Amino acid sequence: MTKRILALLLAVLMVGSIFTACGKKESGNNAGGEGSEASVEGKEITFPLPEKAEFTAWRTAATSDPKLGIVTYNDIEAVQAWEEKSNVHVEWQIPPSGQEQENFNLMITSGEYPDMIWDIGQYYVGGLDKAISDGVIIPLNKYMDNYLQDYNALISANDTVYKDCKTDEGNFAAVYFINTPDQGPWLGMAMRKDWLDELGLQVPATYDEWHDVLKAFKDQKGADAALWINASAGDAFSIFSAGYGVSVLGSSGAGFINVDGTVKFSPIEEGYKEYITMLHDWYAEGLIDPDFYTRTDWLCPDTLYGQNRTGAWADIYSLIGLRGAMSGNPDMDLVAVPAPVKNAGDKLHLCQYNYTRGTGTAAISTMAKDQDTLAAYLDLGSKQEWAYLAYYGVEGDTYTMVDGKPVYTDKILNNPDGLAPTDAMTKFCFRSAGMYIWDRELQTADQKALDAINDVWPSNIDYDAIYMMPNITMTSDEANRYATIMGDVNTYVGEMTTKFILGSEDLSGWDAYVESVKGMGIDEAISLQQAALDRFFAR
CB 354 within 8 A of CB 183: yes
Task: Kindly tell me if the per-residue pLDDT of 199 is higher than 90.
Answer: yes
pLDDT digits (tens, 9 = 90+) for 124-171: 998 999 999 999 999 999 999 999 999 999 999 999 999 999 999 999
Q: Of 406, 436, 466, which marks where a domain is finished?
A: 436
Q: What average pLDDT does this structure show over 174-202?
A: 96
Q: Looking at the predicted structure, is the pLDDT value of residue 20 above 50?
A: no
* Distant-in-sequence, close-in-space partners of 21: CB < 8 Å, separation ≥ 6: 464
Q: For Cα atoms 385, 388, 389, give the angle at the middle one, nearest 5 degrees.
A: 90
Q: Kindly report the average pLDDT of the chain as a whole number.
A: 91
Is the same domain home to 211 and 305?
yes
End-to-end CA distance of the chain: 32
**Whether 397 and 495 share a structural domain:** no
Task: Tell me the mean pLDDT in the region 178-203.
Answer: 96
Provide the pLDDT confidence category of residue 6 given band limits of 50, 70 and 90. Answer: very low
pLDDT band of residue 191 (cuts 50, 70, 90) is: very high
Phi then psi dihedrals of residue 143, to 5 deg: -100, -10
End position of a domain, from candidates 376, 406, 436? 436
Give the pLDDT confidence of 478-512 residue by residue, as tens digits: 999 999 999 999 999 999 999 999 999 999 999 99
- CATH code of the domain covering residue 87: 3.40.190.10
Query: Are residues 377 and 347 part of one domain?
Result: no
1 belongs to a structural domain: no
Q: What is the pLDDT of residue 329?
A: 83
Query: Is residue 210 located within the same domain as residue 332?
Result: yes
Mark whether 232 and 339 lie in a shared domain. yes
426 and 470 inside one domain: no
CA pair distance 340, 345, nearest whole angstrom: 10
Reply yes or no on whether the pLDDT at 218 is more than 50: yes
Q: Region 263-292: what's the mean pLDDT? A: 98
**Domain finish residue from 436, 467, 496:** 436
| Statement: residue 26 has pLDDT above 60 | no
Is 162 found in the same domain as 33? yes
DSSP-derived secondary structure letter, 333 = -
Rg, Å, the chain Cα set: 24
Phi, psi of 341 (to 5 degrees): -125, 165
Kindly report which listed range (204-208, 323-327, 332-336) carries the lowest average pLDDT score.
Answer: 323-327
* 237/349 same-domain check: yes
Q: Residue 41's pLDDT is what?
A: 67
Do 396 and 251 have their domain in common? no
Residue 10 included in any domain = no
- Which of 168-177, 259-268, 407-416, 470-479 is predicted least confidently? 470-479
Do residues 391 and 440 make contact, with C-beta atoms less than 8 angstroms apart? Answer: yes
Q: Does 266 have pLDDT greater than 50?
A: yes
In the structure, what pLDDT confidence band is assigned to residue 38 with cuts at 50, 70 and 90? low
Buried b / exposed e over 5-19, threshold 16 CB at 10 Å, is beebeebbebbbbbb
With 60 as the cut, is the pLDDT of residue 524 above it? yes
- Listed in sequence order, the DSSP H helices in 12-165 are 77-86, 100-110, 120-123, 128-133, 149-156, 159-164
pLDDT of res. 34: 40
408 near 401, Cβ under 8 Å?
no
Total domains present in the chain: 2
Instruction: Please say whether the beta carbons of 503 and 468 come within 8 A.
Output: no
Contact 169, 34 (CB under 8 A): yes
Judge whether 359 lies within some domain.
yes
Please give the residue range of the domain that contains residue 216: 185-353+446-539
**C-alpha torsion 29→30→32→36, nearest 10:** 160
User: What is the spatial distance between Cα 464 and Cα 453, in angstroms, rounded to a whole number?
Assistant: 18
> Is residue 236 situated within a structural domain?
yes
Domain assignment of residue 231, yes or no: yes
pLDDT at res. 325: 87
Angle formed at CA 336 by CA 331 and CA 341, multiple of 5 degrees = 130
Backbone φ, ψ for residue 230 (5° rounding): -105, -170
DSSP 220-232: HH--TTSB---TT
- Percent of the chain surpassing pLDDT 70: 92
User: Does 404 score more than 90 pLDDT?
Assistant: yes
pLDDT range class, residue 254, cuts 50, 70, 90 = confident
This prediction's pTM? 0.86
Instruction: Give the residue-averaged pLDDT of 46-57.
Output: 98
The confidence score (pLDDT) of residue 251 equals: 76
Cα-flanking dihedrals φ and ψ of residue 190, to 5°? -135, 155
Residue 357 near residue 158, CB atoms below 8 Å: no
Among 1-15, 253-267, 409-423, 512-526, the minimum mean pLDDT is found in 1-15
The residue type of 536 is: F
User: Which whole-number Å values give the CA distances from 486 to 78, 171, 272, 510, in the listed order?
Assistant: 45, 29, 18, 19
Residue 87 has pLDDT above 90, yes or no: yes
Shared domain for 191 and 174, answered yes or no, is no
